[in-house]
Amino acid sequence: MRSLTGLQPSGKLHIGNYFGAMLPAIQLQEKGEAFYFIADYHAMTSTQDPKQLAENIQELAIDFLACGLNPDKAVFFRQSAIPEVHELAWILSTVCPMGLLERCHSYKDKVAKGISANHGLFAYPVLMAADILLYDANVVPVGEDQKQHLEVTRDIVAKINDVYGEGLLTMPEPRIRTEIAKVPGTDGEKMSKSYGNTIPLFGDTMKSVRKVVMKIVTDTTPLEEPKPIEGSNIIALYKLFANEAEMSQMVADFQAGGMGYGDFKQRLFDAYWDYFSPMRDKKEELKKEPGYIDEVLAKGAEKARENANIVLSRVRKATGLVSV
């Protein structure tokens, strides 16, 4: 089994990135071949500041390694270090029906939220398909928001295999952790940098993260009354960090009444801070070794290109771009 996961360096990572993509991907490195890439080309649809993009790339690399990615067990690289991805993306675009892209919810949602409409944002699913198919990935861990894009990839595979021969490209399968795929933001909507409702994976300071947690939207239930469990942002977030006993106690305290939301938010913050404590320590160590980060990414890119050229050579022959 070969799995593949990519993360955009479009800003500081948040806990939605971790639970929705990073954690399930890192777990897969113990179960087969794992390819992880920094999706810097994708990030350019929303980040045009060169200095900021470079900083984001470096920080994402450090964060991924701090969270448990093992470069001895997995292939870790920058998307932009693999020029073959654009050739495959173009080939895929020649068989991709426009209707597939026009139906994608992510593009519509982002434009509705005020993000500038551009071709890169619209054609994002085709480049994502190339990212996946270039390495013959069998399994792709995704959140609910990317499920439709993976279905686009599967439709493109079916189309190109029908045109140029069955088995030309590998049909990927989604791996969705439905119980945590949609991590709520501080406003109750899906957590997203685009929506400004995130809780950072690694905040600048304890005080700054606590301030974010304390802004989580709640209802107006008086302190002395029981608090509703259904639809509670605090409950939904707390279960990501708490064990079974802690979760049961939180629910019981919600139902008992006599405690305010501020107390529950503090409990959530404490659980969050303890959970990521060893990863914060690892991040501080890695920040002192920028040369090591560059070496890891360079070695990963070399391995990725070896695999990419195998697939692209196969596609070139099948499509007539080179003589058989």
Q: Give the 3-state DSSP-derived string for 175-230, with helices as H, strands as E and coil as C.
A: ECCCCCCCCECCCCCECCHHHCCCCECCCCCHHHHHHHHCCCCCCCCCCCCCCCCC
What token pair was written down for 112? 């509705």
Taking Cα atoms as reference points, which of 77, 40, 75, 42 lies closest to residue 55?
40
For the CA atoms of 135, 141, 147, 150, what is the dihedral angle to 10 degrees? Answer: 10
Q: Which of 190, 227, 239, 265 is catalytic?
A: 190
Contact 103, 121 (CB under 8 A): no
- Cα separation, 62 vs 79, in Å, equals 16
Q: Which of 110, 227, 239, 283 is catalytic?
A: 110
Annotation says 190 is catalytic: yes
Phi, psi dihedrals of residue 184, rounded to the nearest 5° = -75, 145
Q: Which of 147, 182, 193, 317 is catalytic?
A: 193
SS3 290: helix
- Cα separation, 103 vs 106, in Å, equals 9
Q: Which residues pair with 305 in a beta bridge?
A: none
Distances (CA, A) of 90 to 37, 87, 95, 155, 280: 20, 5, 9, 16, 40
- Cα separation, 78 vs 297, in Å, equals 7
The number of CA neighbours under 13 Å toward the Cβ of 141 is: 28
β-bridge pairing 2-7 and 33-38: parallel
Annotation says 193 is catalytic: yes
Catalytic residues: 110, 190, 193
